[in-house]
Structure 1
Amino acid sequence: MSLDDLSRDQIQTLLDEQTAAHRALKDRGLKLDLTRGKPSPEQLDLSNDLLSLPGDDFADAGGVDTRNYGGLTGLTEIREIFAPIMQVPVEQVVAGDNASLAMMHDNLVFALFHGVPGSEQPWGVEESVKFICPVPGYDRHFALLEEYGIEMVPVPLNEDGPDVDAVREAVKDPAVKGMWLVPTYSNPTGSVVSEAVAAELAALETAAPDFRIFWDNAYAVHHLTDEQTKTADILGLCVASGHPDRAVVFASTSKITFAGSGVCFLGSSPDNVAWYLSHLGKRTIGPDKVNQLRHARHLKDVDGVHALMDRHRAILAPKFEAVVSILDERLAPHGVASWTEPKGGYFVSLDVVDGTATRVIELTREAGVAMTPAGAAFPYGDDPRDRNIRIAPSYPSPDELAVAIDVLATSVLIAAAEHALAG
């Protein structure tokens, strides 16, 4: 029965039952980790061929020795593989080292010190700089902004992308210089920015002439079903709407090959790419081209990327199905939570009873299950309703995951019952 239909005595009985179950789980001495969306060892094993590549031939397609200096834009052959995935012309793609987050960091810092094409002055000398942050969102995006004192403006994230009306209102402020977006299978809700919403964002009239959309397409090929959701062509939409420099597209192989030893990518307008390279060239002589070469030989082409991701899906999809199944069984009858059923990406977003998410995370930790802190998907870690929890099913084994979600469900029921009795 739904918690709303139970008497106080019945709620107390439920609380006693779940507290006893929680005590039994604590006694097991669990040490499980659902904090980050890390590929499992089985997923990493899919790319072990990288360890024997590139072999004895270190030359790229043009005959250049990749072991030496130079090549700031990265190898053409790896850019050719990912340009169509990013929907950016290959000559407007830069391939870097292992983390697209580093490229995002550099774009922010370069903008603060130098401004971007279209800027009247460096962002850092402005009275204030603000970024729009759809919520729930990606905590590492928020951490970058907080690191450099950039004020975050939260807007609701709907199933088809950010609330355009809220964005339209926010960009009337000339201090609003940009926004984050994970367009396909967002972190953590799994929502997808529709073509219509992307077109509206591309066409927005903004008070800041140098407004940027940081389009973090981290999960473009990370499907969990047979439905191959396609990402909107934000760069093309921006060009068509007369704002060719608005979008900066990021991607990486971090959850395709080796999470810590992959290749990252930036794609944008010719002016933005030239601006980025002009400043990047002061920081580095070039990326790890040997790693880019081995990736190009491992993946071979776009079809090779999709074939590898099908093998990832075979490992991941059952884990996501297990999470949803356990939540359905344990929580749905009591009406104390709702959750997403994503078609791709790396997370399930769980909303519990308002005011209880922090307590839920405390209870899971006591039982030996580490999870991302409540509120992590909101700027400054502040979920105004204290209800959102991010679930990362990828890393644990299926058996460990089932135990962890059982702990989570037990904790949700305890927190909900405590809240109801305190009301």
Structure 2
Amino acid sequence: MTFAALSRDQIQTLLDEQTAAYRAAQASGLTLDLTRGKPSPEQLDLSNGLLSLPGPDFKDAAGVDTRNYGGLTGLAELREIFAPIMQVPVGQVVAGDNASLAMMHDNLVFALFHGVADSEQPWGVEEAVKFICPVPGYDRHFALLEEYGIEMLSVDLLDDGPDVDAVRELVKDPAVKGMWLVPTYSNPTGSIVSEAVAAELAAMETAAPDFRIFWDNAYAVHHLTEQQTKTADILGLCAASGHPNRPVIFASTSKITFAGSGVCFLGSSADNVAWYLSHLGKRTIGPDKVNHLRHARHLGDVDGVHALMDRHRAVLAPKFRAVVDILQTRLGEHAVASWTEPKGGYFVSLDVIDGTASRVIQLAGEAGVAMTPAGAAFPYGNDPRDRNIRIAPSYPSPEELAAAIDVLATCVLIAAAEQALAQ
């Protein structure tokens, strides 16, 4: 029965039952971590072939010694594999080192110090710099902006992308220089930016002539079903709308091969890529081309990427199904929460009763289940409704995950009952 249909005595009885289950969980000595979307050891094992590559032949397809300096844009044969995934011409793709977050960081810092390709002056000398942040969103995006004093403006992330009407109002301010987007299987809701929304964002008039969309396509091939959702072609849409420099596209192999030893990518217009390389060349002589070569040989081609991701899906999909099933079994009848059932990506987004997420996270932590802090999916760590919780099912074993979600459900019920009884 829903809480609305329960008497105070019935709610107290439920609270007593859940508290007993909670104490038992505490006594069991759990130490489970659902804080980050890390690949499990089983997933990492799928790419162990990288450890014996590239072998004694360390020259690329053009005969260049990958052990030496140079090659600022990265290995051509690896860029050829990921260019179609990013929907960017291979000549406008840069392959870097292991973290796309570093590329995002550099783009922000270069813009603050120098301005972007079509800026009149460095962003850093502007009176204010603001970014639009669809929420719930990715905490590391928000942390980058906060690190450099860039003001964050929240808009709701809907099933088909950000609230376009809200974005259209915000970009009337010339201080609004950009926005973040995870277009496919967003972190944490799994939302997918539709072609129609992407086209509106591409064509939208903005007061800032150097407005940028940071298009973080982190989960482009991370499907949880046999349906392979295609990401909107933001570069083509922007070019067709007369804003060719608007998008900067990021991607990586962090959740394809080795999370800490993968390769990151940037794709954009020719002008943007030239701008980026002009500043990147002051920071580095070139990326780890040996790692590029081993990845190119391990993956082979685009079909090789998809085949590897099918094996990832075989590991991940049952975990996501287990999360949804347990939440439905434990919470469904009580109407105290809602959750996403993503078709891809790395997270399940759980919304609990307003004002209780922080309490749920506290209870879970005290029972040995570490969760991402409440509010992490919002700028400045502030969820105005204190309701959103990000679940990362990938790393734990199936048994550990089931135990963790069961405890989490118990904590949701306890927090909901406490709030109901306090009214």
Q: TM-score, with normalisation over the residues of structure 2?
A: 1.00
- 1:383 deviation in Å? 0.2
Aligned-residue CA RMSD in angstroms?
0.3
CA–CA separation in structure 2 for the residues paired with 1:118 and 1:365: 48
Q: Which runs of 5+ in 2 are unaligned?
A: none
CA–CA separation in structure 2 for the residues paired with 1:293 and 1:419: 56
Query: 3-state DSSP class of the match of 1:63?
Result: coil
Give the structure 1 partner of residue 410 of structure 2.
410
- 1:80 deviation in Å? 0.1
Residue identity opposite 2:259 in structure 1: A
- 1:38 deviation in Å? 0.1
CA–CA separation in structure 1 for the residues paired with 2:420 and 2:125: 50
CA–CA separation in structure 2 for the residues paired with 1:147 and 1:21: 41
Alignment of 1:160-309 (within 5 A): 160-309=160-309
- 1:242 deviation in Å? 0.2
Partner deviation per Cα, 1:131-178 (whole Å, 9 max, x = no partner) = 000000000000000000000000000000000000000000000000
Residue identity opposite 2:163 in structure 1: D
CA–CA separation in structure 1 for the residues paired with 2:318 and 2:270: 42
Alignment of 1:239-388 (within 5 A): 239-388=239-388
Query: 3-state DSSP class of the match of 2:12?
Result: helix
Partner deviation per Cα, 1:272-326 (whole Å, 9 max, x = no partner) = 0000000000000000000000000000000000000000000000000000000
Runs of 4+ in 1 over 3 A off after TM superposition: none
Query: 3-state DSSP class of the match of 1:145?
Result: helix
Query: 3-state DSSP class of the match of 2:202?
Result: helix
Identity score, percent = 87
Query: 3-state DSSP class of the match of 1:120?
Result: coil
CA–CA separation in structure 1 for the residues paired with 2:4 and 2:346: 32
Query: 3-state DSSP class of the match of 1:61?
Result: coil
Query: 3-state DSSP class of the match of 1:331?
Result: helix
- 1:8 deviation in Å? 0.2
Query: 3-state DSSP class of the match of 1:221?
Result: coil
Give the structure 1 partner of residue 115 of structure 2.
115
Residue identity opposite 2:300 in structure 1: K
Residue identity opposite 1:154 in structure 2: S
Residue identity opposite 1:10 in structure 2: Q
Residue identity opposite 2:21 in structure 1: A
Q: TM-score, with normalisation over the residues of structure 1?
A: 1.00
Give the structure 2 partner of residue 47 of structure 1.
47
Residue identity opposite 2:175 in structure 1: A
Q: Which runs of 5+ in 1 are unaligned?
A: none
Give the structure 2 partner of residue 398 of structure 1.
398
CA–CA separation in structure 1 for the residues paired with 2:292 and 2:263: 6
CA–CA separation in structure 2 for the residues paired with 1:218 and 1:224: 14
- 1:61 deviation in Å? 0.6
CA–CA separation in structure 2 for the residues paired with 1:175 and 1:314: 45
- 1:117 deviation in Å? 1.2
Residue identity opposite 1:119 in structure 2: S
Within the alignment, does 1:28 sit opposite 2:28 as a pair? yes
CA–CA separation in structure 2 for the residues paired with 1:166 and 1:70: 45
CA–CA separation in structure 2 for the residues paired with 1:56 and 1:294: 11
- 1:118 deviation in Å? 1.2
